[in-house]
Structure 1
C-alpha cells in the first residue's frame, strides 16, 4: 500500500467544491470517522480508509438522478488528483448495485456497510427528544435495524455487509456509534 495519494486538506477542498450542502458534507465526515475506526479495527491504514469515507459521495449532486454513474464520476475526479486505486475501487464498489463494480476487498465492504450505517444512526438520533448522539445506545440501533418501517431508505442488506469484514452487527453498531460520537459537534448532533 502506498497510502491515500491525497491529503485530508485537499480532500476537504474537493468536498466543499462538489458538495455545497452541509447535510451531504456531514454524511461524508461521519463516514470518514467510521472508516477510520474500522481501519484501526482491521489493522488497515486509517488515512486511506478514512479518505475513502470522506470522498465516497463527491459526485452525488451530479449523479443523484443517474445512479449508474454514482461513484464513477468521483473515480474520474480522484484519478486526476492521483488518489490511490484502493480508494477509487472502494468508491466505485460502494454503489455496485448500479455500477457493476464488485466488492472484493475489506475496504469495499467496510465503506458500503459503514456509510449506510451512518444514515441509520442519524435517523435513530433524530427520534430522541434531545437529538443528541450521546443519548443513543448500540442496542437501540440494532433494534431499529430490525424495524423495516424505520428509516426505510436505509438498506439493511448493506449494513449487514459488516459480516464480510468479520464483525457481528452488535459490535459494528457500537463501533460506528463511537466513531460518530467523536465528531458529533461537526455533525450537528452534540
Structure 2
C-alpha cells in the first residue's frame, strides 16, 4: 500500500491503538504536522498521516517501539520519508540513534513530546488550545516537574532541526490547535 488515505490510516490506528489518550495524542500530533506542512508548502496528507501513525505500535510493543511500526510500514510500502520520520522521532528511546534529516522528520520530533505539555496544561486549565498563551505554555515547559515524563530535550532538538525557536513553535502550535476537535 503506498501512502494510505486519511480514512485508511485512521482504520490502521483503530486496529492497533485502543487507548483513548494515545489516540488523542496522535491526533494532536497529526494536527500539528498538517499545520507545519502548510507552512512549508509540503504534502499535508503525508505529514498528517505520519503524525497519526507515528506511535501505532506503542501500545502493543512499548519495549521495542517503533521497531514493529517500522517493519509494518516497510511491508506496506509506505513512503521512505514517513519511515525515516517515525524512526527519527524515537531518537534516544529504546536505543534509536537516527536523527531527523528531512523537514517531515524534524517536525515530528518537534511536535510529538510538546503535545503532552499542551494536553497536561489543558487538564489544569480547561480552555480551548487556541486560547492558550505562549507565556503559559513556555512556563510549564520550563517546569521539569510539570508533565515530568515529557522529554524536553527532544522538543528543543526537533525545533532546531526544523529551524524554529521555541517561541515560534509554541505560537504555531497554538494556531494549529485552534481547529483541533476533541
TM-score, with structure 1 as normaliser: 0.87
Give the structure 1 partner of residue 80 of structure 2.
Answer: 85
Hey, which bits of structure 1, 4+ residues long, moved more than 6 A?
Answer: none
SS in 2 for 1:77: helix
Using the alignment, how far apart are the partners of 1:134 and 1:180 within structure 2? 6
State how 1:47-62 maps to structure 2 within 5 Å: 47-62=45-60
Residue by residue over 1:102-141, the C-alpha shift from the partner in whole angstroms, topping out at 9 and shown as x without a partner, is 322221121011011111111111111x354344212211
Residue 174 of structure 1: how far off its partner (Å): 1.4
> Superposed, which structure 2 residues align to 1:6-25 within 5 Å?
6-25=4-23
In the alignment, which residue of structure 1 is the partner of 2:135?
Answer: 139
Q: Is the 8 A contact 2:159 2:169 kept in 1?
A: yes
Q: How does 1:1-190 map to 2 (within 5 A)?
A: 5-64=3-62, 66=63, 69-97=64-92, 98-128=95-125, 130-160=126-156, 161-183=158-180, 185-186=181-182
Q: Deviations over 1:17-61 (max 9, x none)?
A: 000111111111110000011112222211111111000000011
| Structure 2 portions without partners, runs of 5+ | none
Q: Could you tell me how far apart the structure 2 residues matched to 1:10 and 1:31 are?
A: 17
Segments of 5+ residues of structure 1 without an aligned counterpart are none
The number of residue pairs the alignment matches comes to: 178
- Aligned alpha-carbon RMSD (Å): 1.6
CA contact (8 A) 1:126 1:132 kept: no
The structure where helix makes up a greater share of residues is 1
String of CA shifts for 1:152-177, please: whole Å, max 9, x gaps.
Answer: 11111111121221111111001112
